[in-house]
């Protein structure tokens, strides 16, 4: 019998999956979710390349959809945050359409004059104004559920006093 080094033996068993091992249902589910998440990040990279390489020369506005590194991080955060709830954002929209909506949302925060109709890619993946509006509304609703707005009690409400006394 040949003596094997400790490093070699540790290397065999430090892997997430050892040959012959059965995975639990929870592990399989987690692996599926992680695979979907990674696939969505790849879709995002493809969309970035497609937008960069395929802008319309007649439409100068298309150049503004090139995302900065911070905007890319924000889109990646949104992909990770809604990875398990993608279909809840819009039931009939494809993953590419939802990720494209994330990209346009990030750009519209910076420049509100961007119009979806100006981009050929929105027609290609079916991102209309209505679909975009639904996705953004559900996205914001999800964030509002996490951090609800709590009304504060003010000591003196000057507006109400002025209205009641008829001074305003």
Domain for residue 142, yes or no? Answer: yes
- pLDDT tens-digit series, residues 79-120: 999 988 888 999 999 999 999 999 999 999 988 888 888 888
3-state secondary structure the chain: CCCCCHHHHHHHHCCCCCCCCCCCHHHHHHHHHHHHHHHHHHHHHHHHHHHHHCCCCCCHHHHHHCCCHHHHHHHHHHHHHCHHHHHHHCCCCCHHHHHHHHHHHHHHHHCCCCCHHHCHHHHHHCCCHHHHHHHHHHHHHHHHHHCCCCCCCCCCCHHHHHHHCCCC
Whether 3 is in a domain gets the answer no
Per residue in 26-84, pLDDT tens?
988 998 999 999 999 999 999 988 877 655 444 544 445 788 999 999 999 999 999 88
Bigger pLDDT: 25 or 2? 25
- Under the banding of pLDDT at 50, 70 and 90, the label for residue 163 is confident
Share of the chain above pLDDT 90, in %: 40
Rounded mean pLDDT, 5-23: 76
User: Does residue 43 belong to any structural domain of this protein?
Assistant: yes
pLDDT at 17: 67
| Residue 1 pLDDT class (50, 70, 90 cuts) | very low
How far apart are the C-alpha atoms of 134 and 5, rounded to whole Å? Answer: 59
Please indicate, yes or no, if residue 130 is contained in any of the structural domains.
Answer: yes
In this prediction, residue 62 carries a pLDDT of 44
Task: Kindly state whether residue 168 falls inside one of the protein's structural domains.
Answer: no
- Expressed as residue numbers, the domain containing 83 is 22-148
Task: Please tell me the predicted confidence (pLDDT) of residue 148.
Answer: 76
The alpha carbon of 156 is separated from its chain's Cα centroid by a whole number of angstroms, namely: 42
What is the pTM for the complete model shown? Answer: 0.72
> Does the residue 8 lie in any domain?
no
- Is 108 contained in some domain? yes
Residue 14 belongs to some domain of the structure:
no
Task: Count up the domains in the chain and report the number.
Answer: 1
């Amino acid at each position: 019998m040949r003596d094997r080094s400790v490093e070699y033996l540790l290397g065999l068993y430090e892997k997430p999956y050892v040959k012959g091992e059965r995975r639990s249902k929870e592990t399989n589910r987690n692996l599926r979710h992680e695979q979907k998440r990674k696939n969505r990040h790849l879709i995002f990279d493809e969309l970035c390349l497609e937008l960069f390489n395929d802008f319309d020369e007649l439409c100068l506005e298309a150049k503004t959809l090139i995302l900065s590194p911070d905007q890319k991080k924000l889109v990646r955060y949104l992909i990770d945050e809604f990875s398990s709830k993608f279909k809840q954002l819009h039931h009939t929209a494809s993953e590419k359409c939802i990720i494209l909506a994330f990209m346009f949302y990030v750009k519209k925060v910076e420049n509100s004059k961007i119009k979806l109709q100006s981009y050929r890619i929105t027609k290609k993946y079916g991102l209309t104004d209505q679909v975009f509006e639904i996705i953004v509304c559900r996205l914001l609703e999800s964030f509002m559920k996490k951090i609800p707005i709590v009304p504060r009690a003010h000591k003196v409400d000057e507006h109400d006093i002025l209205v009641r006394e008829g001074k305003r």
